[in-house]
Every structure is written in C-alpha cells, then in structure tokens.
Structure 1
Amino acid sequence: MLLKEYKDHFITALTPDYGLDEASSFFYLVLHHLHQLQRIDLVLQPNFQLSNEEIVVWNGFLEQLLSHHPIQYLIGATSFYGLSFHVTPSVLIPRPETEELVAWILQNHAAKPPISLLDIGTGSGCIAISLAHHLSNTQVYAMDISSKALEIATSNAALNQVEVTFLEQDILKIENLGNQFDVLVSNPPYVRELEKQEIKPNVLEHEPHLALFVSDENPLLFYRKIAEIALRSLTPEGKLYFEINQYLGAETVSLLQELGFKNIHLKKDFMGNDRMIQASLR
C-alpha cells in the first residue's frame, strides 16, 4: 500500500475522536518515529510503499490511539521548552502550562548570579532539566518519590547534556531538606477526585494517578508541606514557585499568606486560568 493512501485511512479513523488537526499531527509523529520521515518527505516521495509488516505496525499504533493511549507514550518521547524528553507511563506527560512556569522562573533568575535550585516532584525532569539547560553554573537538584520516574529523569538529563542531582524522597515524610536553596519549585499532585469527570480518557486511564490526584478533603496537602519546608530551606532572598489547581488559586494564596510568605504573585496561564504562584520570605 502507498503510504499516502494509508495516511488517509489513519487520519479518517482517528478524526471522530480527536478532530482532523490532531489526527493529522498523530500521523506525522508516527511517521517520524517509524520511518524518520517528515511531512515534506511524503510530498517528495509520493510512491513510498508500506510493506505488509509495516502496515501491521502502523495498525498497532492506530488501535492504541483509538483506545486513547497517549501518543507520547506510544512513541516514548515528547518535547518541552524546546528540548526532547523520554516519557513512559511512569511519568506525567509535560504540559504547555508548565513551560510557562519555567519561562517565569527564567525571566526572574536568568540575569542573576548562579543559584541553587530544587524541583520537588520532578517526574520526567522537565522543569529541572529545562532550568539547568538555560541557567548556566546553577546547581540543580530534583526530587521524586518514584524510583521509576527518577530513572526516566536521569536518562533525560543525559539526553539533554545537563547536570542534575536526583534525590529519591517522599516530601511528605521529611522535615528539612538539609540545604538552603535560592529557588524551590514544584508542580505537585493537585487534581481533586471531584474533578475526575473533567479529565480526558487518555490522561485518566493512562497517566500515573500518584502524580495527578489528591483527596477532596485535603487538596492543598502538598502545597502546605512544601511551603512549610520552604520557610526553613529558602535563602533570605529565595523564591518559591508552584504550579497550581486553577480552581484553588485564592485558597493557595491564602495558605501562603497564613504561613507568612510575602510578595505573593498569582499568574494566569495562556488559557486564562490561575496556574502558577511565586512567593518569597520577605
């Protein structure tokens, strides 16, 4: 079968679930993954043939996508802040909103002297590695409870040729970090159980719930714990950054005020949702 003919079949099958644009983007991601071809190559090679064996492989991807498996897990990779990252079902797939958090930190610290930075709940390592890539001579540390996540993050640091010190720790079970940091950043679990109905099947059924959900009764559990540790672990001029639940912006600000943080800034993401917070000790 001609590849261009299979393309029509692939996109037509996925369009009812994903829409034409996303179905098309999936085709080209799989095309590059399986054949190392780009969109232009399909134009330049209109008679490119797929063997029966290759069609079987393509059909496997199609079936997985129809079952709402994330494309990033199927090809084992994604991009974040201009860098490439390995991803598996052991880690959350990095989101565009988190890129905005990275950009905010870089905006505030790129022109300053080298700093010491800790990313709590690093997952794939996307925040820590992106910051290490762009902040020269900065000591970057990253913590996660999951050994499998840390394996992925370590491979991503090597892939992007940056130095990050990874720590396997449960942040809820420690009282002191043992070091002082100029920047603490975290994108902890923040989706409440009551919000599950808003989550798309590809996320709900395939991404790690440990990194996503918190109880309805104590949704700011991680924010309180990390903020309490930050009171003891930030340098005097240090800053704390969070990605937050869009519905709990005011509550998260109130929590930080209650704990004594100053200069608290709540920032919206590109969708207009409350998404990130910066705070300092003075």
Structure 2
Amino acid sequence: MIASDDTGLADRDEHAPWLFTMDRHGRVDVEPLVVSGIDGFSDLEAIAPAAEGGLYVLASQSRSRKGKRPAARQVFARVAVTADGARLEASVSLAEQLERDPAVLVALGLEDTAELDLEGMTATAGGGLLLGLKQPLDAEQRAPIWHLPRPDALLAGATPSAAGLRRLGAVPLRVETDGGPVPGGISELLELPDGSLLIAATASGADPQRQDGGLWHAAGPGDLAHARLLRRFPGLKPEGLALRPDGRAIVLVFDTGAAAPQWTELPWPAP
C-alpha cells in the first residue's frame, strides 16, 4: 500500500482520496484504492497498519507554498480496508488539535505549529504510533520523534495530551546536497520486528536542486543519538519504507517529483 502526496488531476479531481497498491515486483495497480467517506487528501505523507487490517493515514500538517493549511492537509485518520474497498472510520485535524492543547505543544518543544511538517509514521510493538518530523528540528538541529500511544483515543475526541502524545527523542541526520551538507528531517520511519528503527531522511526546510537522501538505523528508540548511516541515495529522496513479507529485504520508495517514481530493495539484515 502506497500513499501519495499528490493525487488526482489538477483540472479534474485534485486531492482525490486515493491510496495505491503495488505488488512485490513493483507494479502499481492501474486503479487507485478510493477511500469513501472523505472528500479528499492533501499532502498525504504516511501510512501505518491499524487493527483488523485497517490503516492509519497522516497528512503532513504543513502549510502550503501559499501559506495555507486546508482541512485536507491536516488529516489524521483511520481507514478500514476490506475486500469491498476502503472507507474512513475516524478522522481529526491534527494540527488544529495541537494548537488547542498548549500543554502538549510545550511538552513537544514547540511554540506553535507554523513550521510543522510530519512525514514519518510507523506502528510500534509497544503500542501506538511513532511520528517523525521533517521540521521543525530542535535547537541541536536534530529531527524529533513523537510517540502517540493511544491514536484511537485521539480519533475518538481526546486531546493530544490525553492520548499520551509526547516527545520520544531526536536523531541527528545530515543530507548531502548540491550546496553542501544540510540538516536532514525524517521522511519516513519503520519499526522492525526486533524493535529497532529505520529512519529515512531528506533535507529539512529546504528544497535543493539535488540531494542525496539517506537511510539510518537505530538499535531502538533509546539509541537515536547513535543512529548509524546505512546508505545514501545519490539524487534521490527516500520517502517510503516497508519490510518485505519474507523479512529478508527492506523496500524503499522514492519521490521523484514529476518523473516516474522509483523503488528498490535492500537486503536485510544489512551488512
């Protein structure tokens, strides 16, 4: 299952509520998976498994180039997926909920949500979801990771504080660009069966002409400061991570802008 940050056609059905399915050979199905019960998605960045075969989906919560943050760009939702298709089960505007909960903003190290950009999300065996920030970075230029232990409570109307949202830690990431090294932000997260974390990164707060995205590995949430760089991807932005069903490879999907998307597999465990 793949989320796209740009769905539909600009002159017809822009921001359509679509997800995409791809087989293990990299072939994307011709027809998208249409999510009923919601008008649209805007800048959808992450998906993670929910109970009973469902999915959590997360939009970036960021402001557009025009400085706007429409409701479709604030989506955090749970989607049911069955043989009959996909339908929205619950949804909240996450950025709006954060702004209404000053206590959680302080606990997360934020003054406001003006620069907020969430791109990474993974389910965790310990319960709930981990959320990775593309920006803002912290004072040491590290990318924060949040833990949301009770996502369904948030979706049912609880405040972010009541749902347990907290700052878990932060990871130092550096991305090579045509202008030199810059701080990286989290573009995707994946918790592996052993509890370790894979962290994909691209340039934070910048859009250089060329950048070499990277993939890091941390032994666990308590080892973020010592995350190990596994590989850089010259000229590519890794934005999707999944464990192959047999557990022997990591699947990466790259955002290539207007060009045809790319994907690859890396043997796992890494050498």
Asked whether the two chains share a fold, i.e. TM above 0.5, the reply is no
Larger Rg: 1
Question: Which structure: greater helix fraction?
Answer: 1
- TM-score w.r.t. length of structure 2: 0.31
Structure scoring higher RCO (CA < 8 A, sep ≥ 6) equals: 1
Question: Which structure: greater strand fraction?
Answer: 2
